[in-house]
Chain A
Amino acid sequence: MIRRSPEQRRDDVQRILDAARSVVERRAGLVSAFVESTGLHREGVEHALLHCLETSATERELDRLVATAGDAPHVHVILSANVFVAALRAIALARAAARRVTVRPSSRDPVFAEHLVRAIADPAIEIVPDALPRMDEGEIHVYGRDETIARVRASAPPGVVVRGHGAGMGVACISSGDIARAADNLADDVVPFDQRGCLSPRVAFVVGELIRARDFAEKMHASLAARQRTIPRGELSDVERAEARRYADTLSFSGVLHEGEGHKVGVASHLVVPPSGRHVHVVPVATMDALVASLALLERSIVAIGASDTTQLPSGLPPRARVSGLGVMQRPPLDGPVDQRSS
């Protein structure tokens, strides 16, 4: 078998980005289907398509993506439902690695992936109905819950490598600077996909006293309330609503809770991880050392760290987390998997 050159692989990925742009351009006719499929509000879908979907990448980013993608004769991609535009990066990574790509969209949220694959119009990429098609070699890239990944690993044929991208979350670190601005920027990271993505921040560590954390929480509450007016939250699942209720009661008991129409912000001296659905838990950390210690508790779960000032971040942070400023946590460069914990 003749191996494709890096340039060929990059061209194949570029074709996927072009297709994504065409989907965005045709979005007026597609948004309703995306709304129904994702459960997001119409504005949430628009926002994700316009601000989170990777429709372009620099040469350097593409080079890096191709370099990290590996090489396999066939990659089968199993998509999850949480972040509908994540299909693009998943398919791009698979295509960079393989001559043949099969895609099993989430049964709950198949629409975007189907439209994207149709728009790519690459005979090497096809949608398949089977969660696990017959394959003797190659890789399975599975996105979803840890239990799903474990199930796929258990049933994958011998000789097939399974790469799992499981549950995770983002955290925010608020050090010096204008906390109102930090809260506003963080709201931009919380809102996309109603916080269901593995980059979505759920906990904000505020360096300083409890009173500063409380101040930040109030501003976070105001910022999320403002976003609710422009990008209303979509429907939450029963499980999400139940977990949110439990978080609210736990925080009412043990801290301070701010509840808005489409969000909850809790602040307490102890760490609680809230569920997805636009809920942020704010916790003070006295020093940068305390911040590092707190992040270490969550290390296995942290996919992304957003910081009010990235230059002030201490060493010793979870090494594989993506680090960015606030407000851009949901827009990592297209240079490899979003979740780099397993890479």
Chain B
Amino acid sequence: MGAREESQALHLRARAFVRAFEEGRASPEPYDALASDLVRFQARYVAGYKNLVAARGLDPASISRAAQAPAVPTDAFKVARVSAFPEEETPITFRTSGTTVGRRGQHPFRDASTYDAAAIAFARSTLLRGWPERVHVLVVGPSAADLPDSSLCHMNDAFVGVFGLPGDGDVFFLRDGVLDLAALDETVARILVTGDAPVLLLATALACVHLLDVVGDAGFRLPTGSRVMQTGGFKGTSREVEPSVLRRDLARALCIPEDDIIGEYGMTELSSQFYEARGGGTYLEPPWARIVPVDPVTLEPVEEGAAGIARIEDLMNVDSAFAVLAADRVRRVPGGFELLGRMPGAPPRGCSLTVDEILGR
């Protein structure tokens, strides 16, 4: 079997995890089994990963547990191609935000079907929990047509297509770098009049700050039961707002409970996302991805409940890196994990930065 066929077979196995989750069934095979096969595949076809595995003195054939897989630092995505297939077979490349911190990380995809399946399935069970199949999905951000290399824009587009109501028209409210509050206001007013479904508002944290700036003290009421998916950070930008303050101000301005503002944790280097549980603070993992806090020097898992650097395992990252070492500090808590901020010395990260750049702040 060649690389392409092997990849396709692994994608099918990865998507079987998603399908089982959607159907409420147990995962089709042990997590470690697919993880080990991914590591072997990536050690064979991702040149850098082969080197990293060798540098650890590991024989890929001997790997039988996910925890044995060396994690690829997110920095590597900035300086090397992290991919099991060649450039000429790459129709989609997601890139990290640029700003002033240097080169942009790149995550190539041969196709986005596995990414989309995982994103949609987990969002449906978290962001849309208890809701009808389709709701009003509004985006305070650009569309994928405007920013085709943004994984967040790609995901938002997918959510609009799958979860959104077809009659809503254009639901992207950042156009040519300008937040179109009038259009957003008009759309929300129309929804309030019909009163038939809640709104899912997708926004980066920075876009939320800009929204609050524009709205001022006036308030901007969303229909009852609406939710906001908020993602990204601020560090390195002109604005930095304490997350709890932003959450409070946003809830007040949009007239929704703070619990209905749901944090999303994702990154360009991954194919899966994590969402805050109701009540805030604890992020949930889908059954195909895990967050393991590790010691930043030994890279060994820290004690339960201790803070560590996020080692992120993602079975959907079939053609790139099953295990990724982020520069975010995390801690395991019952039911999930908590985000504790960036590792000291790490460059800022976040989709928010793209919006900041666009808004020219």
Contacts and interface: CB of A to CB of B under 8 A. Distances in A.
Interface in A212-248: 238-239, 241-243, 245-247
Contacts, number: 58
Interface residues of A, number: 18
Contact of B76 (A238, A242, A250, A275): A250
Nearest to B71: A249
Given A238-B296, A249-B325, A275-B345, A270 B73 contact: no
Contacts of A250: 73, 75-76, 79
Contacts of A241: 296-297
B359 interface: no
Given A239-B345, A246-B75, A275-B345, A253 B296 contact: no
Contacts of A243: 345
Nearest to A275: B345
B231 to A, nearest CB: 24
A250 B72 CA distance: 7
Contact of A272 (B71, B79, B325): B79
Interface string B49-92: 10110010000000000000011110110011010000000000
Contacts of B72: 249, 253
A272 B297 CA distance: 19
Contacts of B79: 250, 254, 268, 270, 272
Contacts of B162: none
Secondary structure class of chain A's binding surface, majority of residues: helix
B309 interface: yes
Interface string B248-291: 00000000000000000000000000000000000000000000
Contacts of B49: 253
Interface residues of B, number: 24
A98 to B, nearest CB: 34
B48 A253 contact: yes
Nearest to A298: B102
Nearest to B298: A245
Contacts of A275: 345
B360 interface: no
Contacts of B48: 252-254
A254 B76 contact: yes
B73 A249 contact: yes
A242 B329 CA distance: 12
A257 interface: yes
Interface string B17-61: 000000000000000000000000000000011011001000000
B320 to A, nearest CB: 12
Given A238-B296, A241-B297, A257-B55, A249 B76 contact: yes
Nearest to A242: B296
B297 A242 contact: yes
B78 to A, nearest CB: 8
B11 to A, nearest CB: 23
A243 B248 CA distance: 35
A10 B325 CA distance: 54
Nearest to A269: B79
Interface string A242-280: 110111011011100100000000001010100100000
Q: Which 4 A-B pairs have the closest CB atoms?
A: A242-B296, A254-B80, A253-B48, A252-B55
Interface of A: 238-239, 241-243, 245-247, 249-250, 252-254, 257, 268, 270, 272, 275
20 contacts: A238-B296, A239-B345, A241-B297, A242-B296, A242-B297, A242-B343, A242-B345, A245-B299, A246-B73, A246-B325, A246-B327, A249-B52, A249-B55, A249-B71, A250-B79, A253-B48, A253-B51, A253-B73, A253-B76, A257-B55
